[in-house]
Each structure stands twice: as C-alpha cells, then as structure tokens.
Structure 1
Amino acid sequence: MSTPEDPRPNGSAGVPSDPGPRNPTPGREQTALAAEVRRIREKVDQTAELHTALAATVSEQLAPELAALRQATVDELASLRGDLNEVLETLNKEKNPPVDWFHLTAEQAEEQWPILTQWVGEVFVPWYRITRDQLPDCWALHPNALVELSWLRSAHVQSYIPSSHPHIAAEWHVRWRAAALDNIRAAIPTDMCRPGEHLVSEQESRDRVTQSTPPPAPPAPGEQPWNRPPASPPGGHNWDGVIRTARRQLAEPQYWWRFYEQAVREDLEWRRARATDSSSDNPSV
C-alpha cells in the first residue's frame, strides 16, 4: 500500500511504474544508441569508399589533364617572357633622354659634341635647308644656342623611333623646329655675330670684308663637310652684299667647323677645371 508521503502506488520514489515509449527502460535506450552508432559507422564507411573512388578517378583521369595544363602554362609563360624581353630590348634601344649639358663631365661632353654636330651636319641642315642666317656659324660658342639644338635633336630622334605616332613627327615639324630656331636667333646677337664672324663689331667686320680675298672654291662632290678645311670669311668689297649673300647659304659644317672646334676645346677645359675645383673643395670625395 502507498503511504501518505508517497502517493504513487506500489512504487519506490523516482522509479516510473509504466515502462512505455515515454519512459523506456535502460535496455531499450542502449539498444537505440547502438543502432545509431552502427548507422553512422556505415555512413563513414560509405563516405570513405566514395573518397577512395574519387581519388582514383582524379589520379587516373584528371592527373594527365592537369599535367598537360601545367605544361601549357609553362610554355605560355616562356613565350610571354620572350615577348617581354623583346619589348624591353626595344625600349632600351629607344631610350632617348635629353642631354643635361650643365651636369656633363668632360668625358661625357666629349661624347655628346660629335653626336650633336653629326645630326646638324647630316640631317638638320641638308634635309631642312637651314641657312647661315637661321643657324649662325658661331652657334657652338653660344651655350644657349647649343642647348636649343640639343633638345631639338632629341625631339627629332624621338619623333622617328618605331613606336612613335605620326603626330609626334608632325608636331616637331610645325612647332618645335620653328620654336628652336626662334630661340637660337634670340640667343645670338646678329649685330655682333655674322657669317664667318663671332662677336665682331660692324666696323671691324666691314674692314675685314673689304680687305679679304674671295672665298675658295667649293669642295669636290661627296666630300664630307666636316673633313674640309675651314672656310675663310667671305671676300669682296660690298660688305652688305657679301653678308646678305652669305646669310642665304646653307649652314654647312665647312662654315662653322672652326668655331665648333674652338667651342669643344673651351668647353672641355671648363669642365675639367670645374671637376678639379670640386675635388679641391671636397677632398674626401
């Protein structure tokens, strides 16, 4: 019989009297757990088998394709590397920085002078019909005229490298050439510098012309202008006519070569002296 303290009939405290679905016995619960474990284990085994089969498929079918893809990638990279090297080589050939004449050493200037004068003598004057009026004979003795010609040459070279666009060359012809010639005209005083003369007064020039002999005959065809002997000042007794005629002549190297040689000699001497002074001021350098 149940006691008043325990209203549940014929049962001890905490023990259910009905072992139904809601209150399974310990044996049934363990059986259910064991079944669930077996089911999970079967799933794991099935997954492992699928993984093994997939790995075999990848190894047998995809591995050769991946190897071929890898080789194709390597070949493509090699081809691109070759193309890049060609582009870099072309860019190196097309490097054309402007010449910073002020900071050149004597050795560097000695290399740059012939480059500029060859362009002036072989390209600028004969192809663009530059006269002695546009490019006075003593241009090399005027540093501001020198740098104008130098950047004009650099711009001309840049206009005709293979990678340039046509409008670059067009701009050189219609804009930069005229601008440089205007700057050269402004840099060289026409009242002191004339054909064959550098910083000579008009009276002294008239005296020279009226007392000089006619100029020598032109050199033989095909002779390099810069290998000819320097030309003498134009001769004759009509100073105005002589100067006017000389200004219309092409600015060939035979007219400015002696001034060029003087300019190079003085320029290199100045640069060497500057380097010596700099070394004296900085003995630790």
Structure 2
Amino acid sequence: MKHNDHQDPGVAAQQAVAGLARTVETVSRDVAALKGGMRNAASAGEVARLATIVSELGDLMTHAPAKRGGTAGEGKDKPEPIRSWLTLAEDETAVQAVLSELLPWLQTVFLRYSDARDGVPPCWLWHPEIVEELLWLMDAWTAAYQGPEASNKLVGDWHDRQRPGVTRRVAAYAPGCDALAHRDPADQVAVTVPLAIDADPFVTWWATNRDHNGPAPTKEQVKAGRRGGLAAVSDTAGGHR
C-alpha cells in the first residue's frame, strides 16, 4: 500500500484500516484451516502482507496532519495579528511605518472614488476612528488584490461591501468637521470613560442584585457622565431623565 500525495490522509487511513480488516479475516481462516490439518501455502505470505500493512498504516498516521481545532499552535504557525491604529505601539517608527503605507494608498486607490473624496474630512488625521477604518480597508484591499489568497471574489467583496461601508461610516463620524475645529489644548485627555472611577457600586449591583434596578446616579455622576451636566436633567434623585 502506497500513500498518494494527492489523497486526503484521513481517507487513506480509512482505506488502510479496511484493507487490514480484510487481511486479518483471511489469515484467521488460514489459521483455522491449519489447525484442522489442512496445508495452506499462502498463509506465510498473508502474514507478511499483514505486517507490511500494519507498518505502512502506522507511518501514515504518524505523518497525518493535525486535526483543525486542536491545541493552539499545534501543527500550524500562529496567525499574524491584524494591525490596528487604535492599539498601535506608542512608537514613532511604528506610526510612521503605517502612515507611509496609508497616505500613498489613499492617493492612489481610495480617493479615486468621488464619494470617498466627499466623505473624508480635511481633519481626518485628528480622528483616530477614521484612521482605523481607512487602515483596515487598505489591508483588506491588499489581501484581495495582492495577498496569497487574492481572488476576484475578495475584490468583489471589497467593492460591494467593505469600501461602501467604510465610506459611509467615515462621513458619519465627522460631518462638517474641518481643521479649525481642532484647536483644543494639546495636553487635554482625548477620551475618558464616563463614571469609571465610580464603578464599585455597579460591581456590587451586577454581582449580587442584578434582578433589580442599578444604583441611582448622584448629581456629581450626572455632571461627569452626561452632556450638559446638571442642567440636562431635573433636580431629582434617581428615576428616568
């Protein structure tokens, strides 16, 4: 029995097992016949063939590829992480490397589409969420056109779904925004999580009493966590606003 490189190892193993079963059955009949005093010259050959099949079957199972879904890293290389502008290393070289790819791609590919030119605001570099969208769209374009699995199907998906989706979201992130809107002091924190410092009561609520309403917000929490501060709500404790 010889393994065909073009044959699925699992199918080959099943065929080998089936052949082994047939051979064992034949040998069993030969042994029974010998015990009854009958001569069977083929028995030695059958035993030798059985040994060969067992050896080849063991070799086949040893070199069979690991099943998908096994232990991480077993039988395959660890996949490359998808790069993200939002979690990019705080390193000027890393940032420069990304922009050195993204800027020419925007010029050559993305901004060739009129809806893209209309949707990308002049201040797009001030908006990390916009850079993030454009970065993954560029990487998707590269995979579709130039990657090892490039195909017309991936290209079609990029045109039909991915590019229009990113173009639509980018236009919605900063409608009417321009560079003049970005005159805030440079040392201000760009993003804060509302009420993050007051999370402890919510931990207790969700861990012990989630079937009831959560803790009522204080005036200080409302001021910190809602646009308009205290003026945005009535002067009452708890309840819906």
TM-score normalised by structure 2 residue count: 0.43
Larger radius of gyration: 1
Q: TM-score, normalised by structure 1?
A: 0.38
| Structure ranking higher in helix proportion | 1
Higher relative contact order (CA 8 A, sep 6+): 1
